[in-house]
Structure 1
Amino acid sequence: MRKPFIIANWKMHKNIQESVEFIKQIRECLPQAGVEEVGIAAQAVALANMKQMVQGANLQIIAQNAASELVGPYTGEISVRCLADAGASYVMLGHLERRRLFHEDNETINQKVLTALATGLTPIICTDDKMVQAEINGEIHYIFDQLKGVFDGVAPDQLKKIVLSYEPSWAVGSSQTANPLVAQKGCSRIREMIAAVYGQRLADQVRILYGGSVNPQNIAAIMANPDVDGVLIGRASLQADHFLEMVNWQQAPVSNAL
């Protein structure tokens, strides 16, 4: 059984004080760890302070990016070792905005994935909806272009620990309504792609999230899909009351209107 994972991606919002205050507001109202996993991806400078405020609550501290090398002359970069020391247990890699704005490619993201795994941080690998043809085990499959090569060098026992996030390019950062059927279709295709390479048994263990225009009104319908194991939430996660509504989505009825 794959445990649901609800993640807030704050991007470049909230300073250290605001981040700490947010955790104070939500930590007593989070679901039990056995039911669901909850995380917040915040700016790197706030991670250590946030970790101190978690105090045993069911809340993972997540880094939004990391360098591809552990150490070296890379001014301005942040090593995964430092992120782990600050309290991060997960790191997001390959987000659409990193690709679009900072021109990160599959090779770069693959190196970051391998570095994170070697250090003990769990990668949350993002992909959009662009697909290309590829030959896998002698057969032609459609795979997600942004995952092509990203898993090079990743062993099967490492892959089952990785979290994936499907983020259609039209939905990231937009105010459009997320369609639960689109979420299911994208996540199921990713699972099929993993099954073609690594086998169905492993594909059934990997958690796949949906990101893009998730809010308190549509989260229950999105999470009702069998291949959607969680969500990556942007602007709707910035308010504590809205975020608590979403992490406690299992208490809300599913709307038939979506």
Structure 2
Amino acid sequence: MRKPFIVANWKMHKNVRESVDFVNQIKSKLPDPNKMEVGIAAQAFALPSMVEAAGKSGLKIIAQNAAAEYSGPYTGEISLRGLSDAGVSYVMLGHIERRRLFGETNENVHQKVQAALQRGVTPIICTDETMVQQVVNNEIHYVFHQLMTVLHGISLDQIKQVVISYEPSWAVGAGQHANPTLAEEGCRLIRQTIAEYYSYEIADKIRILYGGSVNPNNIKDIVDKPDIDGVLIGRASLDLDNFLKMISNAQLTIKEEKK
């Protein structure tokens, strides 16, 4: 059974006090962590305080980025060693905004993913790529070149530890409307690509999240899809009541038989 994962991506919002206040208000209202995980990706300076505030609540505190190097003369970078020591359990890597605004490449993200796995920090690998159709042996295959370039060289044992987030460019930004059917098709094809590269058994165990204009009105229809195991929420996660409502709506979709 793949455990649903609801992730808030606060981007460059909220200071330390605001972040800790949010954690203190939400931590007693979370679902059973054995049935659903909830996480918050916040700015780096707030993470240690948030980890302390979260305590044993089960709330996952997530970094929005990290460097491939553990230490050294890299002014302004965020060390995975430091994140691990601070109790941060997940890190987002390769987000569409990192690629667009800061020129991150597949190779950059690949190196960061390897570094995260080596430090025991679970990477949430973000991909915004549109699937590419290819014909092999007279059969049509759909391939995500961006994602598979990032995963190149990741071992069978390592791939089991990753989370993937699919955030297509057409769904990014306020005012857009997420299409649950298209979201499911993208996540299904990602799972199929992983199955063909690794195995169907492994692909069946990897959690694939969907990101892009998720809100309280559409989250249930999105998470209810068989190949979508959670969501990455941007703007809509900044308000406490709104985020709690989204968690509650997502809980309605939990099925005993979901893989």
TM bucket, shorter chain: over 0.9
Q: Give the percent of matched residue pairs that are identical in Structure 1 and Structure 2.
A: 61
> Are positions 1:149 and 2:149 aligned together?
yes
SS at match of 2:171: coil
| AA in 2 matched with 1:233 | I
State the partner residue of 1:3: 3
| Count of residues in correspondence between the two structures | 253
Unaligned runs of 5+ in 1: 254-258
State the partner residue of 2:12: 12
Q: Is the 8 A contact 2:93 2:125 kept in 1?
A: yes
- Matched ranges for 1:184-223 at <5 A: 184-223=184-223
2-side partners of 1:14 and 1:239: how far apart? 11
- Matched ranges for 1:66-145 at <5 A: 66-132=66-132, 141-145=141-145
Unaligned runs of 5+ in 2: 254-259
SS at match of 2:51: helix
2-side partners of 1:8 and 1:74: how far apart? 28
State the partner residue of 2:256: none
Distance 1:111 1:235, change over 3 A: same
Measured against aligned partners, the alpha-carbon deviations of 1:33-74 in whole angstroms (never above 9, x if no partner) come to 111000000000000000111121120000000001111211
2-side partners of 1:16 and 1:140: how far apart? 50
Q: CA deviation at 1:190?
A: 0.2
Distance 1:101 1:17, change over 3 A: same
2-side partners of 1:171 and 1:250: how far apart? 19
Measured against aligned partners, the alpha-carbon deviations of 1:210-240 in whole angstroms (never above 9, x if no partner) come to 0000011110110110000000000000001
1-side partners of 2:135 and 2:80: how far apart? 33
Q: TM-score, normalised by structure 2?
A: 0.93
State the partner residue of 2:55: 55
Q: CA deviation at 1:154?
A: 0.9
Q: Is the 8 A contact 1:5 1:230 kept in 2?
A: yes
Q: CA deviation at 1:175?
A: 1.9
> Are positions 1:227 and 2:218 aligned together?
no
Q: TM-score, normalised by structure 1?
A: 0.93
Q: Is the 8 A contact 2:131 2:186 kept in 1?
A: no
